[in-house]
Amino acid sequence: MHVAVVTIELYLPSCNSLKEKRSKLKPLLLRLQREFNISTAELEHNDLHRSAGIACAIVGNNDRHLQRTLETIPRWIERNRPDLQVVDHQIILL
């Protein structure tokens, strides 16, 4: 069994409140879950309205497949959510 996680740091330039930030992140996390069959969560920068740290996790039996899947997520966010900017991402295989 293999577990892989991608952590992604996002910049939300148009958010002026935490409520607005939540209204942008919640649909993103749900869409990522449906699109990639992964688990998602907001982990960092909970009190900052223009920054977010999210994580996406996946479990499987082929670590190369897991890594390829997670490598597509930051690009998917950039393509499908132009209101968010991917600042950095890191993939961890456990």
Mean pLDDT of 61-73: 93
The dihedral sign for the CA sequence 58, 22, 74, 55: negative
The answer to whether 65 and 1 have CB atoms below 8 angstroms apart is no
Mean pLDDT of 82-90: 95
Amino acid at 21: K
Residue 59: left if φ>0, alpha if ψ -120 to 50, beta else—which one? Answer: beta
pLDDT of residue 11: 96
CATH topology of domain 2-93: Alpha-Beta Plaits (3.30.70)
| In the chain, where the domains are located | 2-93
The dihedral sign for the CA sequence 51, 19, 79, 39: positive
pLDDT digits (tens, 9 = 90+) for 4-63: 999 999 999 999 999 999 999 999 999 999 999 999 999 988 889 899 999 999 999 998
